Copies of this chain bind each other. A is one copy, B any other.
Amino acid sequence: MQSTTYTAAALAERFGLSLRGDGDAVVESVATLAGAGPRQLSFLSNPRYRSQLADSTAGVVVVRGEDAGGLERTLLVARDPYVAFAKIAALFDPVPAANPGVHPSAVVDGSAVVDPGAEIGPLACVGARSRIGPGAIVGPGCVIGEDCTIGAGSRLVARVTLVRRVRLGERVLVHPGAVLGADGFGLAMDAGRWIKVPQQGGVVVGDDCEIGANTTIDRGAIEDTVLGEDVRLDNQIQIAHNVRIGAHTAMAGCVAVAGSTTIGRYCLIGGAAGIVGHISICDRVTITAMALVTASIDAPGEYSSGTPLMDNRSWRRSAARFRQLDALARQVQALGKEKT
């Protein structure tokens, strides 16, 4: 569908890269080193793929300065080839612009305010008192409940639900199946039965956030659940009520964060990690995959829990010994004492 092409020289100038080789080389799309042909651009960022560079038939390759030496081919030299590649690739995959108007199959409440520059897709639903900003896209099958706000240029791809009192900033991207603003899980036990604690807060999502497919972000019990700007959440993440996530933090798929926890800025949370409720994690903390955070963290750095993968028979032996670990340690203490 794309027919726009760029020369290597034009790309170098547009993104401030230094060109080596044939500035007239034409790029019509991007590809992997292994898959690229002469009219495609590729990149080398991860050193493990360096061996592919020699064999690649890519017309243009984005590389670091130290990887450029001795290569007889057209190169764009970048400080960070992955960043440069991302920007170049975006030329060939433009973000869809809103096609303004309300699809006739959509159902919009009379009290909702839809900007004339917004797009409400087929079979979408917009509830009472909600406001859709200019250039925003509410894709097919989305349900926007009551008292929500969608900022300018935000995009709900398809089948997203904003339940109640959800306020999205500008340029927020939400993938299908995500549910924002459902009731937080607030319960109190009263005479042997659960009673529900009303969830009167909302969800506030900062500018430039991205929310993955089937991710859930509950609204707050009293105050709001809050994501700072440029927070990036992958698929199937669960953010409980009253969690606060600092700007530029990114979480891989399937992370679970329990209620009222605060996470700092520039944190990286690995896939399927768990974070318990009512704790605080400072800025620039990295949590590795499937680790469980059970207490506050006040120093930047990388944290882990769990045990390494083993063949099942060996693992059974180690696991059985784990049960006896306290007794084993006491035995060693005793041996140490007896010796002296």
Q: Which residues of A contact B (CB under 8 A)?
A: 29-32, 35, 80, 82-83, 85-87, 89-90, 92-93, 103, 105, 107, 121-123, 125, 127, 139-141, 143, 145, 157-159, 161, 163, 173, 175-177, 179, 182-183, 185-190, 192-200, 208, 210, 212-214, 216, 218, 222-223, 230, 232, 234-236, 238, 240, 248, 250, 252-254, 256, 258, 271-272, 274, 276, 286, 288-295, 301-312, 314-326, 328-329, 331-332, 335-336, 338-339
Query: A83-B188, A213-B216, A308-B319 known; 7 other A-B pairs, CB under 8 Å?
Result: A86-B190, A90-B196, A92-B200, A123-B125, A177-B177, A177-B179, A288-B312
Q: How many copies of this chain are found per oligomer? A: 3
Q: Which B residues are CB-close (under 8 A) to A236?
A: 214, 216, 236, 238, 256
Q: Show 30 A/B contacts (Cβ-Cβ < 8 Å), sorted by A.
A: A29-B200, A31-B222, A32-B223, A82-B188, A82-B197, A83-B189, A86-B197, A89-B197, A92-B200, A93-B199, A123-B125, A140-B143, A175-B182, A176-B179, A177-B179, A179-B214, A179-B235, A187-B250, A193-B208, A193-B248, A214-B214, A258-B271, A276-B289, A292-B309, A303-B315, A305-B307, A307-B322, A325-B325, A331-B336, A335-B336
CB distance from A241 to the nearest CB of B (A): 10
Asked whether, in the complex, the Cβ of B289 is within 8 Å of the Cβ of A308, the reply is no
